[in-house]
Copies of this chain bind each other. A is one copy, B any other.
Amino acid sequence: MRATLMYAAGDVRVETLPDPTIQKPTDAIVRVVRACVCGSDLHPFHDLPAQEQGMQMGHEFLGIVEGAGSDVAGVKVGDLVVASFSYQDNTCEFCRAGVQTACVHVGFFSAAQAELIRVPLADGTLVKLPVGTDSELLPSLLTLADVYGTGYHAAKRANVTAGDTVAVIGDGAVGLLAVLSAKQLGAERIILMGRHKARTDLGLEFGATDVVAERGEEGITTVRDLTDGGALKVLEAVGHRPAYDQAVGIVRAGGVISRVGVPQYDEAPVGFASLFGRNITLNGGPAPVRAYIDELMPGILNGTVNPGKVFDRSVSLDEVPAAYQAMDDREALKVLIAL
């Protein structure tokens, strides 16, 4: 099969690898129909040390089940399915509590930008899609694999409810889908902090009521002025330390900072002046998107939401290296791979 490999920062190649095979009775093999490049794929694109054996890439995909182990009962050969970016048994204590990314058997996909992929724990991971491979809904359904569920996780962990004032930090695909999710959960006012107009325009379309382009102290002051002292729910969808500091600066006393941007820092202020003194809650983490697929799919199928709008470019598998470059240059927000 053809597959995407990264050999070093900036060095992405599409090469031929042996087809994956079923290794355990709970495995399935899926022929990928749609995959995509994630913002987090850009981290190794920036700093991966050179390596002789390339590293397979990609964790978001939907496709056709091509083979299934003897223990797989939930899906069958020929089904069109979407996978969560993590695989899990979906039956353990942590899965039942809705923290699938802490499943006792959890793993994370890293080979989805390819023609075929092996799916461990297929019954806990794959969800059948009630459409065909010619459906116009495929881009939106693909967002269930990660970015939509991740934006939704931010809003859920912040307990966004009807009438809320919410601030979203970051205008990447996750931030924009956090806006969409907050809107779905009834937020009345949604302030989007971002400064790429094409992206914040999509944020407005998704339900943002205000856009704040300023950063740092200036951005904090603007949001505090807009909200008369801060937003009760802050969704942080960036992961860099300045975004954390921004969240602390704009959150209202008694409020929540819900993080889904993977922290690129270890320590940060949590003392009296930042969190403790105002009874701020800090939560979030890797989204248990498997928990949300059933909940979010109906809105896509009935046309209520169109999260697939985050894809502003589509490429073939052979064009994936250029897709990385386009996202890194911020020419593209998120690139779909159609196989």
Contacts and interface: CB of A to CB of B under 8 A. Distances in A.
B276 A266 contact: no
Given A279-B285, A282-B283, A284-B279, A102 B274 contact: no
Interface stretch (A200-208, A257-265, A304-312): A257-265
A303 interface: no
Question: Can you list the 9 inter-chain pairs with the closest CB atoms, starting with the nearest?
Answer: A279-B285, A102-B253, A99-B254, A281-B283, A266-B271, A263-B271, A282-B282, A267-B267, A268-B270
Contacts of A265: 271
Contacts of A254: 94, 97-99, 102
Contact of A267 (B253, B271, B278, B279): B271
6 contacts: A97-B254, A98-B254, A244-B270, A259-B276, A279-B284, A279-B288
Can you tell how many copies of this chain the complex includes? 2
B285 A277 contact: yes
A157 B276 CA distance: 12
Interface in A233-278: 244, 253-254, 259, 262-263, 265-278
Contact of A279 (B99, B272, B278): B99
A50 to B, nearest CB: 25
A269 B267 contact: yes
**Chain A interface category by residue count:** 35 or more
Given A279-B286, A281-B281, A281-B282, A270 B270 contact: yes
Contacts of A244: 270
Given A94-B254, A281-B283, 13 more contacts: A94-B253, A98-B254, A102-B278, A102-B279, A266-B269, A266-B271, A266-B274, A268-B271, A270-B282, A275-B285, A276-B284, A281-B281, A282-B282
Interface in A1-35: none
A150 to B, nearest CB: 12
Contacts of A253: 94, 99, 102
A129 interface: no
A286 B286 CA distance: 29
A269 to B, nearest CB: 5
